[in-house]
Every structure is written in C-alpha cells, then in structure tokens.
Amino acid sequence: MIVNSSDGDCDWRWYGRRSGRKLRPQRRVLMERLLPKLKIADPDGHDLVEIKSQFPAGKRSIWMEIGFGTGEHLAGLATRHPDVGFLGCEPFVNGVAALLSKVDAAALHNIRVFDDDVRLLLPRLPEASIERLFILFADPWHKVRHHRRRITVSKNLDAFARVLSDNGTVIFASDQHDFAAWSLANFLDHPAYTWTARCRADWTEEPKGWITTRYQRKAREVGLDPVFLTFRRCMRSCVTRGGKVLNSPSDQCI
C-alpha cells in the first residue's frame, strides 16, 4: 500500500510487496497478452479517465472493487450483471493474474483493471462516475501507528464521495471487528454518507446477492465472522462540511 508523506504532499510511498509466488506459465501469458487489453492506463497529469468509454457500449453503470484479491467476487458479479461495467483495482501481481484467469475462462467482456494503488486513479475519475463501490476484507493495519494506512481514512472517504453518484452505494466487509468499528465511525462522521442499517441483521448477515469467496469460507472455519456495512452516498446538494461543498475539484488529492 502507498500513503501520503507526513506533510500532506502527494509523495507516494509503497508499503508491502507487489508480487508473491512465481506465476504459472499460463498466467504469465495472460499478464502479457490479456492485461494490456483490460488495463486502465496509468493516469497522467490532470487528465480525466473517461471510464465509461473503457467498456463496450451499453453498460448502464460502473461498479468498482478496491482490492479484489484473487478476483472471485469481481468475476462473479461480472458474470451475474453483464450490463454493468466492473472496474477492479489491485496492485498485487498474483491477484491480477488470478482475476485474468477467471476473465479468460468465462470470456468476460465487462471487466477492466487498474493494477496499481487506487489512490493514483481516484483523482482522475470523473465526478459521480461510480454507482457502487466494494471494499471487502481490506488490510486492517492493526498497529495504531499504521492506522493512517487504512483504506477508510477520512481523506479516502472524501475521494470516494467525489466519484460516487448521488445515492450510490459503498459496501464494506471485514472479519476484523476493531477495523470494522473504526471504519464505521469514520463513515458516520462523514457528511457524505448515510449508514443504511435498520437492525442487527443488516450488518451480521450477508447482503442480498452476496458472493462468498474462498477467503471468507476459510475465515469462518477459524471462527472469524464478518461484518457487512452498507452506506448510501447523500445527494450532493445536501453535503457540506463547515460550509464547504466536499465535491469540489480541489478536494481530490488524498
């Protein structure tokens, strides 16, 4: 993961490895031949990435998953919803290769990939261009001094709010309850989001249409029960913080 420098400038620093085990020959071929066809080009300067034009015509909306792991959830959604364009963001080579294998096997045409840290892409996406955002089982960064690396820090929530459409949805899941509680507090403190829960089952039971991954099944086998949090992006006309509208272009950098 990469984070800003302590002085707030966009000085990107990477934490963790980009690759793990050596790729199988078939997956190396997919990285060489299929990824260039699906990859969102690295954002350059201040140019916007016209995300809808990256997909075949006729996609009714764009859904985005940040940190898609091996791509089980993303590929499953893409299979169920061929009329939706799916943007998957994952910096780790092995995860990208695993997703490409699923895309190739199922002949999916509605997935695009950004194979770097999502915070490089978010400022370049058009405002209100994403209808649904998934943040599933992200790194909890347990140590207090590492909490600023968490994906749900306030500045990231600002960036998500900018790219989400009015009444768009954020679906967050984690089997680390302290991280889930910390993230919930940040979302509740942010004026752009409303937590949709009305009863306990809304955060203890899987949302409708949920795709259970191998990671989630293994976690449950060792007694880790996930929390599911769903947030609604408030209408822009209603969102201010200290009299300042949060969706202005000057608030893009995180």
Q: What is the mean pLDDT of residues 120-128?
A: 95
CATH class given for the domain over 22-251: alpha beta
- Tell me, yes or no, if 139 is annotated catalytic: yes
> Between the CA atoms of 95, 96, 102 and 107, what dihedral angle is there, to the nearest 10 degrees?
170
Q: What is the percentage of the chain residues whose pLDDT exceeds 70?
A: 84
Q: Which of 104, 139, 202, 251 is catalytic?
A: 139
Task: State the CB neighbour count (10 A cutoff) for residue 123.
Answer: 19
**Residue 41's pLDDT band (boundaries 50, 70, 90)?**
confident
Radius of gyration of the chain (CA): 18
**Residue 251's pLDDT band (boundaries 50, 70, 90)?**
very low
Per-domain boundaries in the chain:
22-251
Over the chain, what is the mean pLDDT?
Answer: 88
- The sign of the dihedral angle between the CA atoms of 231, 235, 238, 244 is positive
Q: What is the mean pLDDT of residues 177-201?
A: 98
Q: Does 145 score more than 60 pLDDT? A: yes
Identify the pLDDT of residue 240: 61
3-state secondary structure 54-107: HCCCCCCEEEEEECCCCCHHHHHHHHHCCCEEEEEECCCHHHHHHHHHHHHHHC
Q: Does 44 score more than 50 pLDDT? A: yes
Q: Does 135 score more than 90 pLDDT? A: yes
Over residues 46-81, the pLDDT tens digits come to 688 999 999 999 999 999 999 999 999 999 999 999
